Amino acid sequence: MIDIVCPFPFAVSPHVDQARQHLAVWTRDHGLLRSARARERFERADFGWFVALVHPTADADALDLMADWFAWLFLVDDQLDDGSFGRSPERMAQAVALMRDILNDDTPLPVGGDARTSPVASALVDLWRRTAARTSTAWRGRFVHHLEQCLTTATIWEAENRVRGTVPSEDSYIANRRHTGAIYVCMDLIEIVANVEVPAACHRAPAFRAALDAACDVVCWVNDVYSYAKERSLGEVHNLVHVVGHHRRLDEIRATEEVCAAVSARTDAFLAAEKTLLRDQPEDASWLDPTLAGMRSWMRGNLDWSRRTERYTSGIPEGGPTAYVEAALMEAGR
């Protein structure tokens, strides 16, 4: 039984409809959803509503950018989890190398790419141009590092586990989950919405890391609870409910209860870290207050979306993941 209580209030952006409309156009223009079935499932997942829940105070332009990042990250995640790339560390490494070049190249490919560029890479060119224009060199360095961790260390680790048939340990899974879920990437994006920047020294400080990691764990583990049925139907082992059940020899109900209790404990850990930060660093309120508020809205918005989205409630269509995963999104020559 899923029993997750969130202490943060519900909120949604007034720009939600615009975000939905923008997302439909952006994914179409970049060739990210070419089949009718894939587009239908994508629209039913309602990522526009998701971004409006997670960033309820964003202005319209920032919300559109966040929506595009969400779509890109989820579509790449589907390729890694459900598509053939997720079972081929070698192919994944090649695709990641191209993405790394885009993020680190001072003269990236033009928007739209060319015959050598996959739809995912072409869309990343557009995303990075729009994101870089809003941010400092220091922020971009941190963001690129987090995205590279997501695309390399964690995803290749997952692919190798699948090939070997390995269920990771709880500690290994928890540490890597923050990367596989791209949640550090998403938390970095809070600063764009809030028009602030966390100083590098503060971002590395234990007190801030305690709040950040607690918020990341809450988001990732809630996702695991609600996506469990979908992922297990595909044979996926990278889910905290499955990892806990496997290693503690618990059935699905008991494993779910354990993870829900862990979510509550990590929420309490965030609140304790937040209280310490606000008490001890009043001089940092200009960036600290909106950043912590962004973490809170991430935890609440992710829970509200996960409870309702058809991405997790509608099950896997007949034909398995190939019925909705666009297998060529990471291949050149679209």
Share of the chain above pLDDT 90, in %: 64
* pLDDT, tens digit (0-9, with 9 covering 90-100), for 16-27: 999 999 999 999
Compute CA distances 66 → 49, 60, 188, 230, 284, whole Å: 11, 10, 11, 25, 25
In this predicted structure, what is the pLDDT of residue 80? 64
Count, in order, helices (H) and strands (E) of the chain. Answer: 16, 0
* pLDDT, tens digit (0-9, with 9 covering 90-100), for 74-87: 888 777 655 555 45
In this predicted structure, what is the pLDDT of residue 85? 52
* pLDDT, tens digit (0-9, with 9 covering 90-100), for 275-325: 999 999 999 999 999 999 999 999 999 999 999 988 887 655 555 544 444
pLDDT at 328 over 80: no
Average pLDDT over residues 42-64: 96
Query: Measured at the alpha carbon of residue 255, what is the angle toward residues 183 and 166, in degrees to the nearest 5?
Result: 65
More confident residue, 102 or 266: 266
pLDDT at 35 over 50: yes
Compute CA distances 199 → 61, 62, 180, 204, 291, whole Å: 24, 21, 25, 9, 12
Share of the chain above pLDDT 70, in %: 86
In this predicted structure, what is the pLDDT of residue 322? 46
Q: Which of 124, 76, 120 is nearest to 102 (CA)?
A: 124
In this predicted structure, what is the pLDDT of residue 234? 81
More confident residue, 94 or 13: 13
Sign of the CA dihedral running 28, 234, 183, 91: negative
In this predicted structure, what is the pLDDT of residue 87? 55
On whether the CB atoms of residues 225 and 256 are closer than 8 A, the answer is yes
